[in-house]
Amino acid sequence: MEAPLILLPPPSLLSIFRSWHYTSFMFLMNLLLAATATAVALANPTEELNSCLGHILTHRENIAVSGETFYQRWVNRYNLDIPVTPAAVTFPRSSQQVAAVVKCAAENGFPVQPKSGGHGYGNHCLGGTDGAVVVDLKYLQQFSMNRKNWQATIGAGTLLGVVTKQLHNAGRRAMSHGTCHEVGSGGHFTIGGFGPTSRQFGTALDHVVEAEVVLANSSIVRVSDSENQDVFWAIKGAASGFGIVTEFKVRTEPEPTTAVQYTYSLKVGTPKEQAALFKRWQTQVANPRLTRRFASTLTVLEHGIVITGTFFGTKEEYDTLNMDTQFPGAIGSTISIHGWLGLVTHWAERLVLDWIGGIPSFFYAKSCAWTPEDLMSSETIDRLFDLIATAKKGTLAWFLLFDLQGGRTNEIPTGATSYAHRDVLIWMQTYTINLFRPISQTQRDFLGQVNTLVTGNERPYAAYPGYVDPSLEHGAEAYWGENLPRLRRIKARIDPKNVFRNPQSPLPAEI
Ligand SMILES: Cc1cc2nc3c(=O)[nH]c(=O)nc-3n(C[C@H](O)[C@H](O)[C@H](O)COP(=O)(O)OP(=O)(O)OC[C@H]3O[C@@H](n4cnc5c(N)ncnc54)[C@H](O)[C@@H]3O)c2cc1C
Ligand SMILES: *[C@@H]1O[C@H](CO)[C@@H](O)[C@H](O)[C@H]1NC(C)=O
């Protein structure tokens, strides 16, 4: 380490100085030091870190360190149930500045996590536990479209809502992604990224053809199928443990233009009626001949069951699916939507109705999955709805979501990207939410009971790494399955000191 040149005041004082005349402050400090001609050694790694960051990001809006007034506002936790305090939050404006921040953190022994939309469930973008250096990518929102091959270049701080608009404006193009506008491309394109079009186009990360990545040794590299292939493979499913993607290059598709949005709902109902509806839905989505233009989600909530989804086609085509006869007892409605932007807006609005969407709250979530060979038996479905009718849930705000996957996502080999769960036909996500108080043990236990019942504890456990469950034991195994050993070998080579980490990221393989 070089001998430090300046002595920094306590953080609170520092923030005052930063807000005005930082440069003249530095000038005065240097004068002062020159006058006394004594370089004072910095006492601890935190001061070393702050000093290092202070040299590369000098403006008030580019860095905030723990202890400052309003620090919590800069941290802005999405899941209020996980109280995490990072060592520093930085807002670099270029890949070079991202690399410089990584260097400061790594040299002083701090873990690093990038933050894009900040919508991860485990607050992993803040480190997941105290003391990380956060690299907030909000200034990295460059966009361009190559109109020859329709590949788009997207800064990794761009939120999904903005991605949709930019692709539309650049030639009516689209890609697969989830339905919440506030989710970030950084966390979404690197973990999976399912949405209504993924049965046709693949997941969001299947669109990524190239990326720029800052590695643990602070070098900036391009990664693709022909350059740094291992890193490319790792960032398509597990990026947060391997580097910071600063920019994506993605394949795009012509945007779908005509769609039917359908809803079938069963208000309350007996457990038997609910189970019967679920079985009909499972049979429908498990049909191997089901068109890929059909997306579907079944949601179980306190007041009943709702089946919603999008059919990409005309109302006439939709009518040939005979949906009205599929779900007896449920009340159906459809709206035809013309134009991609209108459709994406509709999804986002629905999401806010179904769930709280963009705003921070206290919540806990779990996930698991079924392959076509391995669906829930009729008896298990009956037992599930009996459990739902009788279990203590600790809140009215709980949901079980069953999402149809399959289609294109099933054709990609398990080893093609580090995202591993290619055989999944149905994902289940379960949520329990409080607006104003921490999640209780009763709430957690309910989700635990549901998972234990539906998985029967027999099959290998699969969890979606995009729905972080911080209390999952062996999280890395559940998230990356059979791709974990290769991830750990790559980790040992490119990040042996585990600079990029959160409580569930892959550990370097032992050599
Ligand atoms: C309301 C809501 C709706 C959702 N809907 C869907 C959906 O429809 N489909 C779906 O698949 N998922 C969905 N998700 C899950 C979502 O995809 C993940 O939570 C995703 O990881 C969030 O990305 P982010 O950038 O917003 O989060 P962040 O918290 O910023 O990041 C999440 C993780 O990714 C890492 N990361 C972020 N940026 C980068 C980068 N540039 N390079 C490397 N690592 C990075 C972070 O360090 C962190 O570990 C939803 C989540 C919410 C809250
Ligand atoms: C940084 O790490 C990468 C991946 O291991 C390696 O290819 C590169 O040479 C390293 N760069 C430097 C400057 O050490």
Q: pLDDT tens for residues 184-240?
A: 999 999 999 999 999 999 999 999 999 999 999 999 999 999 999 999 999 999 999
Query: Relative to the CA of 217, which ligand 2 atom is closest?
Result: 1
Q: What is the DSSP letter of 44?
A: S
Predicted local distance difference test score (pLDDT) of residue 34 = 41
Domains in the chain (CATH in brackets) are 11-18+256-477 (3.40.462.20), 40-136 (3.30.465.10), 143-255+481-494 (3.30.465.10)
Rounded distance, CA 200 to CA 202, Å? 6
The residue whose CA has the least distance to atom 5 of ligand 1 is 178
Beta bridge partners, 366, equal 430
Query: Relative to the CA of 355, which ligand 1 atom is closest?
Result: 1
Q: What is the DSSP letter of 501?
A: -
Query: Relative to the CA of 468, which ligand 1 atom is closest?
Result: 19
Ligand 1 centroid to residue 64 C-alpha, Å: 22
Ligand 1 centroid to residue 119 C-alpha, Å: 5
- Among 80, 116, 215, 346, the mutation site with the greatest number of ligand 1 atoms within 8 A of its Cβ is 116
- Among 77, 180, 354, 505, the mutation site with the greatest number of ligand 1 atoms within 8 A of its Cβ is 180
Residues in the chain predicted with pLDDT less than 70, given as ranges, are 1-43, 59-60, 349-358, 457-460
Q: What is the DSSP string of 81-109?
A: TS----SEEE--SSHHHHHHHHHHHHHTT
Give backbone dihedrals phi and psi of 320, rounded to 5 degrees, phi first. Answer: -70, -15
Burial class of residue 238 in the structure, from the number of CB atoms within 10 Å of its CB (0-12 exposed, 13-18 middle, 19+ buried): buried
Query: Relative to the CA of 186, which ligand 1 atom is closest?
Result: 38
Q: What is the pTM (predicted TM-score) of this model? A: 0.90
The residue whose CA has the least distance to atom 9 of ligand 2 is 219
Predicted local distance difference test score (pLDDT) of residue 351 = 55
Q: What angle do CA 84, 434, 466 make, to 5 degrees?
A: 60
58: left (phi over 0), alpha (psi -120 to 50) or beta: alpha
Ligand 2 centroid to residue 217 C-alpha, Å: 6
Predicted local distance difference test score (pLDDT) of residue 456 = 76
Query: Relative to the CA of 228, which ligand 2 atom is closest?
Result: 7
94: left (phi over 0), alpha (psi -120 to 50) or beta: beta
Query: Relative to the CA of 231, which ligand 2 atom is closest?
Result: 4
The residue whose CA has the least distance to atom 39 of ligand 1 is 186
Predicted local distance difference test score (pLDDT) of residue 457 = 63
Residues in the chain: 511
Ligand 1 centroid to residue 272 C-alpha, Å: 36
Find the residues whose C-beta lies inside 6 A of ligand 2: 215, 217, 219, 493-494
